[in-house]
Amino acid sequence: MKFGLYGLHRDRNVDPAVLARRATLAEESGFESLWVGDHIALPAGEGNPPRLEAVTALTYLAAVTSRVRLGVGLIVLPQRQPVLLAKQLTSLDVLSGGRLTVAVGAGYVEPELNAMGVSLAERGARTDEYLAAMRALWSAAPSFTGRFVSYSGVVQHPSPVQQPHPPIVVGGHSPAAYRRAVRHGTGWYGWGLNPDETEQTLRTLAETARKEQRPADLGDLEITITPPGPPDLDTARRYADAGVDRLIIELEGIADDAVDSVITSVGDTLVDRV
């Protein structure tokens, strides 16, 4: 099983020295990937901690690490302009030497979506169309026509290091998210699920895959889960037995003075043992 770390874009980690030190510590401790989330403007008065913009944070992480993969997820796709985002993600894949994974979701915070000019009702349609537009750009298609975005006579260079594009993971717990993952994703990302909930969800995903006839060229759906808290060895093995390929450890709720020990503990007790 692979282990990722989520949350180095938030709280005290926005200090560049702290961010670099903890990213290096995670890489040395055997983490397979570092993940950052994507909220641009959250409602006031809801415990909104300092946080860095996702693509910017990952670009910094790419510069201070050399081996660990870099995951942007879930990026709230409908609130991003897809032509610009495709260029940003390609640039990040190139600068990191092909270490980028892109996890996308439709979003759920209505005030944030509205602030970016997107209605809650159209977020799913935008997500599907923006994915298609970015894939068209990555395949060097010179035109794309959609309801929300269209372009003609343009291409982007360079191409991503990872061909045809960085892995696309789809997150979310709705039927629409499951269908999107099956149709378009190399993987699916679930948040806050314990092992029993994970088993049930994976059965639903398998049934969705049978109904949707997953394209053969996408291969098996890689399963990523963020558990409710850092798991012990037995719990991690339960996730592995359920079919999980990657566990991402969330830092929220962990006291700042305990973060370093959590990072090293996961490396010592879980990496290469599950």
Q: Where are the domains positioned within the chain? A: 2-269
Looking at residues 95-119, what average pLDDT do you find?
Answer: 96
Band of pLDDT at residue 213, cut at 50, 70 and 90? confident
Q: Which CATH superfamily is domain 2-269 in?
A: Luciferase-like domain (3.20.20.30)
Tell whether the model's pLDDT for residue 185 goes beyond 90. Answer: yes
Q: What pLDDT, in 10s, does the model give residues 214-269?
A: 888 888 999 999 999 999 999 999 999 999 999 999 998 899 999 999 999 998 99
User: How many whole angstroms separate alpha carbon 271 and alpha carbon 32?
Assistant: 9
Q: What pLDDT, in 10s, does the model give residues 3-27?
A: 999 999 999 999 999 999 999 999 9
User: What single DSSP character describes residue 164?
Assistant: S
User: How many whole angstroms separate alpha carbon 133 and alpha carbon 138?
Assistant: 9
User: How many whole angstroms separate alpha carbon 266 and alpha carbon 207?
Assistant: 33
Cis peptide before 74 (omega within 30 of 0): yes
Tell whether the model's pLDDT for residue 45 goes beyond 90. Answer: no
Looking at residues 111-124, what average pLDDT do you find?
Answer: 96
User: What single DSSP character describes residue 9?
Assistant: T
Mean pLDDT score of the chain, rounded to an integer? 95
Tell whether the model's pLDDT for residue 46 goes beyond 80. Answer: no
